[in-house]
Structure 1
Amino acid sequence: MAEAIWTIGDVAATGPLAGVRVLDMSSVVMGPLATMMLADMGANVIKVENKGGTHAGDMMRYAGSSPTGDLGPIFMALNRNKKSVTIDGREELGKAQLETLLREADVFFHNVRMAGMARLGLDYESVKAINPNIIYIHCCGYGADGPYGKRQAYDDLVQAASGWADLYAKRSDGPPSYTPSLVADKTVGLFATIATLAAVVHRQRTGEGQFVSVPMFECFTFFNMVENLYGQTFPGDGKFGYTRSINPRRRPYPTKDGFIAIVPYVDRQWARFFEIGGRPGVFEDPRFSTYEERTKHTGDLYAIIEEVAATKTTDEWVELLDKEDIPAMRFNPIEKVPDDPHLKATGFFMDMAAPHIGPYRTLRHPIAFTGSPANQRLAPQSIGAQNSELPSAANDG
């Protein structure tokens, strides 16, 4: 266990956003992922949660077992480097506290439906009246101009509506299915990070804040359709779905003793792969000799790769393909990912400790800044841990 006890103020922010102040009223996954990325990169993020009973605050605090009671595993993964305060925006004290925090903020970030924020006096025009240059980030379900504008959005709903779940049906000729990951939430969270960074740059250049809407449905449909608009890109009757990505044989290939991912890409790699695999004539086949033809006949090509992969052990393939500079990776069951030698060497999984948590495991920020490195300086906080720092000590949490 690393010798690391995190308390407020132990480590200074070193990332490129040091000095940027974010008031964060987001919850669950999409918003907290975005604000954690900002916090890792140095922003001073204050997470505002609602008061309540035994399950007050962000519901992700209680998803999964935890020795702390209010710091569940998913919440832990999404809420480091943030201070936690509880405020009741319906009370006069809470309104005054929020107004003070908003005056001091550069960014106001939330994923609450706008009607609810308007009832609290926290819609864009009201917040702009408090802080004219505020950057107001609203992570919403759907763009306000469309017929879904007032609906709720969740990961499953957006996977279904965006065509993402249909990719599984197209691949298997079976029923549609959801990806076993909160892929829409996390993807759109990164869109929100990008949007916030762009708005910060705009304000630095012009002095102007602005309202920024990050609609989950539109963002994830954009993400999905980058490659899957495909045959519908130009006029005609082409099909949706990139032939390579929806092919049922696009998967780790069985070897003699396990599985491996093999992706020859350029012509030289394809030719050499088939030579090594004892099938030197394959690349001369007109179906596979050019990139365009390989794309048309992806299924046939993958079937041959699968046959060739089965002729050697995983270790044999890794050694051979690495030597030949042919892209390949050992298949890792999720339980083995922390033992991956590359991730171990880079210290990606970090064993940490904090007084209010005890030992825990977290992930290193994945982006490397040579001049302004992201850092971890504050463990995920118990609900209301920084209430004493709020304007007016009368807030008893």
Structure 2
Amino acid sequence: MPGALDGLRVLEVGDLVSAAYATKLLADLGADVVKVEARRGDLARGRGPFPRNTPHPDASGLFLYLNANKRGITLDLTHPRGQAALEALAGRTDLLVHNVHPTLMAAHGLDYERLAAANPRLVMTSIAPFGLSGPHASYRGPDVVTWSAGGISTLNGLPGEPDLPPLKAFGDQSGFQAALNAAVGSLGALFARLGRKPIQPLCFVECRDGWLFLCAVEEHQWQSFVDLMGNPEWGGLEVFANRLARGANFDALEPFLQEWCRDRSVHELYEAAQRRRIPFAPVSTMGDLLASPHLRARGFFATLAHPVAGPVTMPGAPYKLSGTPWQLRTPAPTLGQHTADVLAEAGIDAAALSAAGVV
């Protein structure tokens, strides 16, 4: 079945999340993505989780998720012949996405003027902690730095406590957010270059068997919730008369909600609320999501066989396209798996580069 981005050629250079996830979004829609790794391999290959907790560069759960549907090659981009090979590959590529630090771009052959001289239609997307210009362009910025510098770690206030200490979300959230922006920006540039046209307080309560998120912001939702609870006397108190009052007096309201939910089942309340059009939601664990009948019916999770890691179940794309759906076509490449094939397509002698220690 055709993909929405069939025929689009993409080169990816870098490590870890941001460049890899940006190009994964494109690969899932049919783009031919060639991942260029250093000879040591992407640093993500050293991140877990690993099957049976046994580290292996071709079995990292993070790497397998980020790099399915891609071809993979190795090149030493600090070597002149490696840079020449990159230039040849860029000459037949629509988009190059990288997250090499701005201070290291030139040393890795990532000079847009030079690459575009051979391919004026090339789009190059550079993902950098603080951009390519400005007084902070040379600063280093791993995830916790960019998360903090961007101000997101301060967005954790509660009613009456707007100034709680900063918090850091789990995982490389800055990397994933940067990847989304990079993918969208890249597609916008490609549309222009290639002439294509585009297509209230939070309340978590602990139930008998897990956690539930309560959301009844609109007045009709709140009244339906009060009815679901059997119209308790406190539900009619003046201090809870409207959503502004409930927000201002949430410290008084929350214990009533916690007590009522404590001995009830998460899914019992979830289903009952949804029948009344109250948007409650269970707080799902990873196991809950894997077992979800809804996600199974939508075919969200997909299992792909990998020659080293074995069967790998991973999340699918967060969208559905009727005519050009995303597909998991190939597993993440083993280190350098496609080096000879991809270089041969560009007329480059991989054996000679191997002998020179470039690949």
Q: Equivalences for 1:1-397 in 2 at 5 Å?
A: 14-51=2-39, 56-64=40-48, 65-66=50-51, 69-71=56-58, 72-168=60-156, 175-205=165-195, 244=200, 247=201, 250-279=202-231, 288-290=240-242, 299-310=251-262, 312-389=264-341, 390=343, 391-394=348-351, 395-396=353-354, 397=359
| SS of residue matched to 2:71 | strand
**CA shift in 2, pair 1:252/1:169, >3 Å:** closer
Whole-angstrom CA distance in 1 between matches of 2:278 and 2:196: 48
Query: Number of aligned pairs?
Result: 341
Whole-angstrom CA distance in 1 between matches of 2:264 and 2:304: 40
- Quote how far apart the aligned CAs of 1:159 are: 2.0
Whole-angstrom CA distance in 2 between matches of 1:344 and 1:101: 40
8 A Cα contact 1:274 1:280, kept in partner: yes
- Quote how far apart the aligned CAs of 1:256 are: 3.9
**CA shift in 2, pair 1:16/1:300, >3 Å:** farther
State the AA in 1 paired with 2:349: S
Whole-angstrom CA distance in 1 between matches of 2:210 and 2:266: 6
Is there any run of 5+ residues in structure 2 with no aligned partner, and where?
none
- Quote how far apart the aligned CAs of 1:291 are: 5.1
- Quote how far apart the aligned CAs of 1:160 are: 1.9
Whole-angstrom CA distance in 2 between matches of 1:63 and 1:201: 35
State the AA in 1 paired with 2:350: A
| SS of residue matched to 1:76 | helix
| SS of residue matched to 2:65 | helix
User: When the two structures are superposed, what TM-score results if normalisation uses the length of structure 1?
Assistant: 0.77
Whole-angstrom CA distance in 2 between matches of 1:372 and 1:188: 25
User: When the two structures are superposed, what TM-score results if normalisation uses the length of structure 2?
Assistant: 0.85
Whole-angstrom CA distance in 2 between matches of 1:298 and 1:131: 60
Whole-angstrom CA distance in 2 between matches of 1:291 and 1:146: 45
Cα root mean square deviation, aligned: 2.7
- Quote how far apart the aligned CAs of 1:296 are: 5.0
Is there any run of 5+ residues in structure 1 with no aligned partner, and where?
1-11, 208-243
Could you report, residue by residue, the CA deviation over 1:107-160 in whole angstroms, capped at 9, with x for unpaired residues?
A: 111011223111334222222222212111000111344322111111111222
- Quote how far apart the aligned CAs of 1:330 are: 2.4
**CA shift in 2, pair 1:269/1:261, >3 Å:** same
**CA shift in 2, pair 1:130/1:268, >3 Å:** same
Identity score, percent: 28
Q: Which runs of 4+ in 1 moved over 4 A?
A: 169-174, 280-304
- Quote how far apart the aligned CAs of 1:334 are: 3.0
- Quote how far apart the aligned CAs of 1:314 are: 2.6
